[in-house]
Amino acid sequence: MVPGEVLCVPRVGIPAWRSEGSLLGGERSEDVLMARSAGARRRLGRPPASESAETRERIIRAARDCFGRYGYDKTSNQVIARRAGITSGAIYHYFESKQDLFRAVAIETQATVLQRFRAALRDDMTVVEKVGSLLDAAVALHREDSSMARFVSTSPMEISRHEDFQDLATGPLLETLRFFEEIAREGRERGEVAPDVTDAAVADMLMATTTGIALFGGFVEDLSAHAETTAAFRRLVEGTLLRARTS
C-alpha cells in the first residue's frame, strides 16, 4: 500500500448510488448480489447439506481482515487460508474464486452493519439521537470484530479499482446511502434538519463521517481511542464539544 493512499478515499460511484441502475433491475440490490454469490457457490456442486457454516464464517472473517489490511490484489487465497486455519483448497468448497470471496465479504459485511444500524434506531428518536445511537452501534461492532471497520473503510477503493466490482457500488453502498437519506428525510419532516441543507448532503455527511471513523479505528487498532474519538464526534453532533469564542 502506498503511504498516504488510504487517505484518498474516492467517492465511489456517488451519482450511480442515487439511481436504480440497470444492474439492479428494480429488485433490492442486496438480494440480487447475494443471489449471484450463492449461485457461484452452487456451481461447485457441493451438496448443501455438507456445507459447514462455521468454516465458511471463519473464511469470511479471515478474508475480511486480509482484504482490509493488504488490499484485494495483494491478498491471496493462501494467505486467507492460513489466517482461517484451513488449506487453500478448502476455500473452493465455499467460494468459486477470490473474486467471489471478496464479493461475499462485501455484501455480508455491509448487510451486518446496516442490520445493526437499523436495530439501533427507534421511531421516536430525534435526528441527533439517531446519529448518537448509530455511533454507539459502530463502537459495539468494532469491539466485536475490528476487521469490519477496516474493510468497510477501504473496500470502496477496491471497488473503484476493479471493474468486476462496480455493481457493488450500486448495491450494498446504495442501501446504506438510502438508509442515511431516510434518517435525514424523517428529521426534515419534523423540523430537525436545516432547511437549506439537502437530504443528500446529510446522507453524504453521515456516510463520510461513519466511514472516516471506521478508517481511524481500523488502522489505529486501539479500541479505547476509537471509542473516545466516536464519543467526541457525538458531542460535536449534540453541540456540546466546541464553544463559540467570547470577547
Q: How many CB atoms lie within 10 A of CB 58?
A: 17
Which residues constitute the domain of residue 38? Answer: 12-17+26-238
Dihedral of CA 16/18/23/29: which sign? positive
Is residue 5 one of the residues assigned to a domain?
A: no
Is residue 207 one of the residues assigned to a domain?
A: yes
Segment 61-115, tens digit of pLDDT: 999 999 999 999 999 999 999 999 999 999 999 999 999 999 999 999 999 999 9
Is residue 245 one of the residues assigned to a domain?
A: no
Q: How confident is the model at residue 46 (pLDDT cuts 50, 70, 90)?
A: low
- CB of 200 closer than 8 Å to CB of 214: no
pTM, rounded to two decimals: 0.76
Structural domains counted in the chain = 1
Could you say which DSSP state residue 241 is in?
Answer: S
Q: Is the pLDDT of residue 52 over 80?
A: yes
Nearest Cα neighbor of 66 from 121, 147, 11, 123 is 147
CATH number at residue 162: 1.10.357.10
Cell numbers for 197: 441543507
With both helix axes pointing from N to C terminus, report the angle between 53-70 and 98-119 in degrees, rounded to the nearest 10: 100
